[in-house]
Structure 1
Amino acid sequence: MCGQVSKAVVLQKSIDYLQYLSQQKKKQEADLATLKKEVVALQIMRANYDQLVKAHQRAPHIPEDIVSDEAKFQVSMNNFAELSGCVFSWIEEQCKPVDLQEMMGTILRQVQNFEDEDQHPDPAYQNIRLNHP
C-alpha cells in the first residue's frame, strides 16, 4: 500500500508541476506579446523622429510645417503611428528647452512677486504666513 500512495503523490506532484509550467508558459507568452507591442511602438517613434530630423536637415531655417492651433485639435487617432507623428512634431516645435526655461522663469518670478506682496486671496494662507516668518 505504501508503494501505491507514493506513486499517487508523485503523480499529483507531477500534475501540479505541469500546471505550474503551463501557467509560466502563458505568462511568458503574454510578456512576449507586450514586448512585441512595445518594440513596434518604439520603431514607430524612431521612424517619426527620423522624419523630423530629415525635415530639419532639408530646411533648418524655414519653419514651413508649423501646425496651426486649429489643426492641433484635428489630430487623427486612426493609428499610433499617425498620432505619435503629430505629437512628436508638436513637442519638438513647441517644447524647446530655451522656451520652457523662459516660461518657468516667468512663472517663478510671478509666484515670488505674488508672495512678496502678500496678496494671496486665501485668508488662511495669510494667517499661516503671519504666524511663520
Structure 2
Amino acid sequence: MKKTLIVMMSFAFVFTIASCNKNQKAVKNLDGSWKLVKVNGEAVEEDEAATYDFDNCKLKSEEYCDLTITEDGSVETATYKVTDDGEKLVLRADVGGVAFELESEITELTSTTLIFKTTFLEETSISELTKL
C-alpha cells in the first residue's frame, strides 16, 4: 500500500511539472510584439490594428505576466497567464475601475501565429495575430 501511494504521488508530481512546462512554453512563444491581423476571418485595416506586447516571465500557478495593448494611439496595460497545458489564455485588466478576467481558448500558437477564440456575452470571436 505504501509503495502504491509513493508511485501515485510521484506520478502526480511529474504530471504537474509537465503541465507547468507546457504553460511556460506557451508564455515563451508569446514573448514579444504581436499585431492583430484578422477578426472572425476578416482582415483588420492597417490603421485599426492593435499591437499586443507580451512580456516573458517565469509563470507560476497563480502569477500573471505583463501585457501592453496599443490601439488607436492609446496604450492599455493588463496582465495575462496561460493555463490548461497551454490551451487557455487568461487576460486580466482594469477598465474604468472595474477589474475583470477574460478567458480565451488558444487554437493555434506557433512562433509566428497566435489564434484565439473568445466568448463574451454569448458572442464568440476569433482573433488572429502575427508576430512582428
TM-score between the two structures when normalised by the length of structure 2: 0.32
Normalized per residue, which structure has more strand? Answer: 2
TM-score, length of structure 1 as denominator length: 0.31
Structure 1 or 2: more helix by fraction: 1
